[in-house]
Structure 1
């Protein structure tokens, strides 16, 4: 099953981590964390994971008990993950959704993302107990109103090919990228040990990351519980738009996120809603040699089949005069 990659560290001593693909579950204007119950939400999201996803997602209900399939490789992961959608803005002011393609080693997945669950970093888990998220847990990272790139967990890579990983930048690349743009979202991994959510969906967590896949700092006393660090990678296929004659006349880059005219990308953000079955995730975090030990997997075809119908009936593709909801 080549699309499932449980990767070991490149140097000893090593510990494993989860790296797996999830196909697109849906692309539509819903956001049950930030705008619960609102149909449609303010902007378009790409969503992966379990098919229990809906506009409300009652936090008192364990989504792992409601979902009947997942677009992710591990069948016990019925969580949901979502980010904004990337659009190309033409010189005439019209917009076109940027297509996606699967990450390296993930086979013929339909769009989607690559998901990581890191113990701490690629080389060592620091002998720290990693505590799984709990049913009802949710969090976000980033904010669409951000005007600076001071969050080290949010980065872009200008892809020279599908294997490119560096350098990472806080803003969109400012030149055409030969193989597209990868957007990277690293969630915080220190929990206050009490709250499954907070009013802004971030204060119950604390980020000690230093950017990229590197060792995170120790958790502070206010947020003492080390949890898995969730990271998302999305491969945006910007190649159809690499003709500079299509770019703005001033030469500035032409890509914007679906939440508005953020043409520097600093407001990128992502949402996470926990939905692993039973103790499956805790077992993986307790398993030092191979994190996927005992987890059940499914084929790419099965992942691609898990989708949900769009609640919001609107055109999000083709050439648009305005971003949906904007």
Structure 2
């Protein structure tokens, strides 16, 4: 487990966070939070975490008890984490799915994401109780309907090398990135203490995030319970598309999310809690968070966990985006979800 030991060693001076990798579990059009039971969902997602993931995940069923394996380095974490998928649109109009690669600190995981659970910051819990999420809890951050840079926790980094972390931008980088593009999703960390979900999957949470892993602001009286600050980092390997002769003739950036967002403002993430038993709470209560008694597994074990596809269709090329746009033009549900970007369709 050299890869995981390395991550712990580098994190050791700061002990108020969990940082770990999760390999890719599946890439398909499913979304059990926003579009439960819909097969296929409107756009493609890359999913990591426990193998209980499917089109319908009943909040009354404890995911931590149902899943039998996970793609995450902590073997007690059967949560699911997902985002949209990035595509490259070439000058000739063709699309190509952008591959993912693991963070340099996390060894040879298959694609996937880096997951964070922070307390107040990397080094302190702010002398406050950090309450674990409960079974059945779920939330989203961001919205595909966004057409402005509204959330400082949703950002991109143009990677000069695999260790680059700054600067961050609210939209896709405008020039070729030597080591790819990192997409960053910071979730809100203030909970109302009552609801495991809400109709828009966000109102039960309150966002005081300031971005770039800076300490979030204090929680308001309406959402007084401080929960872990969840964040995702996804490394997209755009290097094979750095030849600008393939880019649009006007020189504009060529990357697009799987819901046809060319600016990047609509980037969003979904989280569905599934830690086993009280493992996450024990970790949050531990004096030394990164050694809070959590069980780990090898890269090989994480990479081995998988699920069968519910949606069997090609995920490269134009097909998925063409399907999305056709659905958007003919389906009021899609138009409502993705307005105002497509008001004219």
**Normalised TM-score (structure 1):** 0.96
Matched, 1:8 2:7: no
CA deviation string 1:193-250 (max 9, x = no partner): 0000000000000111111111111100000000001000000000000000000000
Structure richer in helix, relative to its length = 2
- Structure 2 unaligned runs (5+)? 325-345
Counterpart pick for 2:323 among 306, 319, 325:
325
Where does 1:306-317 land on structure 2 (aligned, <5 Å)?
306-317=305-316
Give the aligned partner of residue 216 of structure 1: 216
Runs of 4+ more than 3 Å apart: 6-10
C-alpha contact (below 8 Å) 1:285/1:291 kept by paired residues: no
- Match status 1:127 vs 2:127: yes
Per-residue deviation, 1:75? 0.7
**CA deviation vs aligned residue, 1:9-68 (integer Å, no higher than 9, x gap):** 76xxx4331100000000000000000000000000000000000000001100111101
Whole-Å Cα distance in 2 between the matches of residues 321 and 290 of structure 1? 45
User: Alpha-carbon deviations, 1:102-154, whole Å to 9, x = none?
Assistant: 10211110000000000111232110100000000000000001010110110
**2:278 pairs with 1:279:** yes
Asked whether the 8 Å contact 2:258–2:320 carries over to 1, the reply is no
Task: Determine if contact 1:316/1:324 at 8 Å carries over to the other structure.
Answer: no
CA distance in structure 1 between the partners assigned to 2:19 and 2:232 by the alignment: 10
SS where residue 105 of structure 1 aligns? helix
Hey, what does 1:158 align to over in structure 2?
Answer: 158
Q: Distance in 1 between matches of 2:308 and 2:320?
A: 23
Partner of 1:296: 295
User: What's the offset of the Cα at 1:324?
Assistant: 5.8
Query: Aligned partners of 1:73, 1:9: CA distance in 2, in Å?
Result: 17
Alignment of 1:145-224 (within 5 A): 145-224=145-224
Query: SS where residue 302 of structure 1 aligns?
Result: helix
Distance 2:35 2:318 in 1: 24
Instruction: Count the aligned residue pairs.
Output: 321
Distance 1:292 1:323 in 2: 43
**CA RMSD, 1 decimal:** 1.2
Over 3 Å counting, the alpha-carbon distance change for 1:255 and 1:77 in structure 2 is same
Contact 1:9 1:122 (8 Å CA) reproduced? no
Paired with 2:204 and 2:222, the residues of 1 have a C-alpha distance of: 9
Give distance in 1, aligned partners of 2:97 and 2:291: 35
Please, which runs of 5 or more residues in structure 1 have no aligned partner?
none
**Partner residue, 1:36:** 36
SS at 2:303 equivalent:
helix
Give the superposition deviation at 1:282: 0.2
Indicate conservation of the 8 Å contact 1:280/1:295, yes or no: yes
Q: Is the 8 A contact 2:77 2:275 kept in 1?
A: yes
Q: 1:268 aligns to what?
A: 267
The CA deviation at 1:322 is 5.4
Instruction: Give the aligned partner of residue 238 of structure 1.
Output: 238
Instruction: Give 1:294 deviation, angstroms.
Output: 1.1
Checking the alignment, whether the CA contact within 8 Å between 1:84 and 1:257 is kept in structure 2 is: yes
